Amino acid sequence: MRRMPLGLLRQDAIWPGMAHPLLIGSNIYRGSTYGRLHPLSIPRVPTVLDLSRALGWLPRAQYRTSPMAKPAALARFHTTDYLAALRRAETQQSVAQSVRDRHGLGTLSNPIFAEMYRRPATAVGGGFLAAELVADGGCVFNPGGGTHHGFPDRAAGFCYLNEPVLTILRLLEMGVDRVAYVDIDAHHGDGVEAAFVGSERVRVISVHEARRWPFTGAETETAKGAAVNLPVPRGFNDSEFQMLLHEVILPAVDGFRPQAIFLQCGADAVAEDPLSRLCLSNQSHWSAVAALQGLSSRFIVSGGGGYNPWTVGRLWTGVWGVMNGCDMPDHLPEPARTIQGQLSWTRKARPAPALLTTLADSPRHGPIHDDVRSLAGRMKTRRWS
């Protein structure tokens, strides 16, 4: 057994004096799919639960079942017309063209499928539960959440409901004064940024691939002071991530003095993911978890993007391991290897042997390119109070 090579896992990572971290899941994710050829045809949350249990990291006392959020609670952000259309689409398993045009339902990105309302409503219910669980301090992982592209009246980018926005709104309703939202998904969280334009209580910080859908999140886009956008080039590597993490992200979070931190830990920025051209290892994500969880007494981590079945399960299982201060195994035990070996993908690509037998990627260091260094330099001139 060994520690994370990046050396960022602290001895206090298991929150002494507080309850152990909690993980939120649900059986609704088992067998639920957006469609055979959709990028979200793959199992993700079930793989995390199964791998965590196979590693002995998820005792029953640390697991919570997600409730399904009620329409009235969802209406804190989404319109009642949209929620009615979404529920009706699930029941009827079809939509009229007018609904497709207005609400973005029944499209290639946001198709009709059996649990198209209940599944995202359960993810939001997990976010609400996470907010309640950290009310007096603690940390919670809700891997089914992180759906950051949803808008009040429209589905977008595989996101029918915006779980991060609704979870943050719940934290604010509970009396939390300042929430730092950090998003390391390969795609810019446009729905979250739009929800908090001009807010003095929420700071939105996003690292994402430049010139990739949804084509928002330019460096100059500040949401009237509420957002810090870090668009990065193709090939973005671990060395460059560490520079932005330590020189920009952590100062921007710490300077805000947040009473809660929400980390959207989308798994699509790793080299093997089909929907980005970034080249991170899963250790970059783990280092962000380790570094951020000590900056506030309330810490919520969600999932997000991630479209390679083998990399998503490994990355998010490692997130849970970091939150608990676990040692990372050099090699997966046989039960965990069996779980990885049973995964399948509609794409022709087959996993490298390491994706079946290990949890941690080898670090993917590289040169720090001038545009990343310049981005960090410009951001360091900003005041983070």
| Short-list 124, 226, 210, CA closest to 170 | 124
Q: Walk me through the domains of the chain, giving residue ranges and CATH numbers.
A: 22-380 (3.40.800.20)
Amino acid at 263: L
Q: What is the pLDDT of residues 42-67, one digit of tens each?
A: 999 999 999 999 999 999 999 999 99
Which of these is catalytic: 78, 103, 148, 149? 149
Q: What type of residue sits at position 360?
A: A
- Is 331 an annotated catalytic residue? no
217-246 residue pLDDT tens: 999 999 999 999 999 999 999 999 999 999
| 347-356 core/surface letters (b: 16 or more CB in 10 A; e: else) | eeeebeeebb
**Residues near 243 by Cβ (< 8 Å), separated by ≥ 6?**
368, 372, 373, 376
Tokens 């990372």 found at? 328
- Which residues, 6+ apart, have CB-to-CB distance to 196 below 8 Å? 165, 168, 181, 202, 204, 223, 226, 227
Specify the pairing of strand 227-232 against strand 260-264: unpaired
Residue 4 tokens, joined: 């994370």
Q: Report whether 32 contacts 46 (CB < 8 A).
A: no
- Token digits for 254? 């710490």
Strands (E), 227-352: 227-232, 260-264, 298-302
Contact 57, 324 (CB under 8 A): yes
| CB of 106 closer than 8 Å to CB of 113 | no
- Specify the pairing of strand 298-302 against strand 227-232: unpaired
Find out whether 44 and 143 touch, Cβ atoms under 8 Å. Answer: yes
Q: Which residues of the chain have pLDDT under 70?
A: 1-18
Maximum CA extent, the chain: 57
Amino acid at 140: V
Residue 70: Cβ within 10 Å count: 12
Sign of CA dihedral 18, 296, 300, 313: negative
Find the helix or strand (DSSP H, E) in which 142 lies.
Answer: strand 138-142
| pLDDT confidence of residue 7 | 35
Describe the crossing of helices 45-54 and 334-341 by its angle, rounded to 10 degrees. 160
Query: How many degrees, rounded to 5, is the angle at CA 24 between CA 21 and CA 25?
Result: 145
Residue position matching structure tokens 């990028």: 39
Sign of CA dihedral 96, 119, 176, 226: negative
What's the pLDDT score for residue 18? 55
Its pTM stands at 0.95
Residue 12: per-residue pLDDT: 42
CB 291 within 8 A of CB 254: no
Burial class (CB in 10 A: 0-12, 13-18, 19+), 373: middle
Q: How far apart are the first and last CA of the chain?
A: 41
Residue 57 gets which letter from DSSP? Answer: -
Q: What is the Cα Rg of the chain in Å? A: 19
* The pLDDT of residue 222: 96
Judging by DSSP bridges, how do beta strands 22-25 and 179-183 pair with one another?
unpaired
248, two tokens: 């920009």
**Tens digit of each residue's pLDDT (9 = 90 or more) over 112-127:** 999 999 999 999 999 9
Q: Among candidates 186, 187, 216, 189, which has minimal Cα distance to 203?
A: 189
Q: How far is CA 245 from the centre of its chain?
A: 16
